[in-house]
């Protein structure tokens, strides 16, 4: 069992983002703004704040905007400095001072499992995190740190789960679990992709945070195309859950904190409104306006 701290995070951003077309025709969906930062910046900040300064993004054909976003832009900085707009200057600088970001093309977008496998050489033989840009975890939460701890204790791979209303489970990957006596994690026996509500083994849904043992790479090498003709990370985790020996076993951390789903249009809009209404600079006016807006709409 390896107990080195996890300091590498892999962020796959090579998906086609079909649910947001045409907005995602020329840019990755992770660049869509959530209030005034692209979704990807929240995710990178989460990784860095959880002790993972080494970030690898698996990119697709639209990687330019990502690279530009995390790079310095001297003339913008100079303009803000000349104007004395130090708050904005600090914000602009913050987005280019986040950890050490590497980029690797996926080539063909053959699925999330395939994207993760591309990280093999960069990650090497140590546990690593995978973060998906669809899920934003509030900066006040410590989900990734908890997952890293559970990975070190179990020596397996760790996924994040949330409890959903039973009728919503058919939109998620669902975990069949066993309680582990005296522990704050569960054992994952099986993963079922988007089950019908009456066939779901639980109401525990998989969300986009993983801390994986490097044994997952060998399994991914052997994993053929699954649902949608794509190489699925879920299928590899399923194999690890049933395996024995070094790096086997999948465990779940049930997350009950603040999370903002940005994966489809409606939840994205809700995430933007929720986060904006919590902000000191925007919240009070936005909440007032929302009250009037809903009253008018009802009338």
What is the contact surface with ligand UTP in residues (CB under 6 A)? 12-19, 29, 58, 106, 109-112, 114-115, 132-134, 263
Q: Give the C-alpha separation, 209 to 11, whole Å.
A: 10
Helix (H) or strand (E) holding 116: helix 112-117
Residue number closest to ligand UTP, CB atom: 15
CB 14 within 8 A of CB 109: yes
**Nearest CB to ligand UTP, comparing residues 3 and 18:** 18
CB 31 within 8 A of CB 38: yes
**Nearest CB to ligand UTP, comparing residues 105 and 279:** 105
**Nearest CB to ligand UTP, comparing residues 219 and 248:** 219
**Nearest CB to ligand UTP, comparing residues 95 and 106:** 106
In the chain, count H helices and then E strands: 11, 13
> Would you give the DSSP letter of residue 198?
G
Q: Give the C-alpha separation, 98 to 132, whole Å.
A: 17
Q: Give the C-alpha separation, 57 to 78, whole Å.
A: 29
Omega before residue 293 within 30° of 0, cis: no
What pairing do the DSSP bridges indicate for beta strands 8-12 and 54-59? parallel
CB of 202 to ligand UTP, least distance (A): 21
Q: Give the C-alpha separation, 276 to 283, whole Å.
A: 6
CB of 115 to ligand UTP, least distance (A): 4
**Nearest CB to ligand UTP, comparing residues 31 and 80:** 31
CB of 144 to ligand UTP, least distance (A): 16
CB of 158 to ligand UTP, least distance (A): 18
CB of 262 to ligand UTP, least distance (A): 10
CB of 137 to ligand UTP, least distance (A): 14
CB of 62 to ligand UTP, least distance (A): 11
Q: How many CB atoms within 10 Å of residue 283?
A: 13
**Nearest CB to ligand UTP, comparing residues 1 and 23:** 23
CB 231 within 8 A of CB 237: no
**Nearest CB to ligand UTP, comparing residues 65 and 189:** 65
Q: Give the CA dihedral 178, 261, 227, 255, nearest 10 degrees.
A: -10
């Amino acid at each position: 069992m390896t107990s080195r701290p996890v300091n590498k995070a892999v962020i796959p951003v090579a998906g086609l983002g079909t649910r947001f077309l045409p907005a995602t025709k020329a840019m990755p969906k992770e660049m869509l703004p959530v209030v005034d930062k692209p979704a990807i910046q929240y995710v990178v900040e989460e990784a860095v704040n959880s002790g993972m300064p080494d970030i690898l993004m698996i990119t697709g054909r639209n990687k330019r905007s990502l690279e530009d976003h995390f790079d310095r832009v001297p003339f913008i900085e100079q303009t803000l400095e000349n104007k004395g707009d130090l708050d904005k200057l600090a914000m602009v600088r913050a987005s280019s001072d986040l950890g050490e970001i590497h980029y690797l093309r996926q080539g063909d977008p053959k699925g999330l499992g395939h994207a993760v496998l591309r990280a093999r050489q960069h990650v090497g033989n140590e546990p690593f995190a995978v973060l998906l840009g669809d899920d934003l975890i509030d900066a006040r939460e410590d989900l990734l740190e908890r997952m890293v701890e559970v990975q070190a204790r179990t020596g397996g791979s760790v996924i994040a789960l949330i409890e959903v209303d039973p009728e919503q489970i058919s939109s998620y990957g669902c975990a069949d679990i066993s309680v582990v006596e005296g522990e704050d994690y569960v054992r994952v026996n099986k993963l079922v992709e988007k089950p019908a509500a009456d066939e779901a083994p639980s109401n525990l849904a998989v969300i986009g945070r993983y801390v994986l043992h490097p044994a997952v790479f060998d399994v991914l090498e052997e994993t053929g195309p699954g649902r949608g003709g794509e190489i699925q990370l879920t299928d590899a985790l399923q194999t690890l859950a049933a395996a024995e020996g070094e790096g086997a076993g999948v465990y779940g951390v049930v997350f009950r904190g603040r999370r903002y789903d940005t994966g489809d249009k409606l939840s994205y809009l809700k995430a933007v409104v929720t986060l904006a209404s919590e902000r000191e600079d925007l919240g009070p006016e936005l909440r007032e306006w929302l009250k009037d807006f809903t009253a008018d709409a009802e009338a």
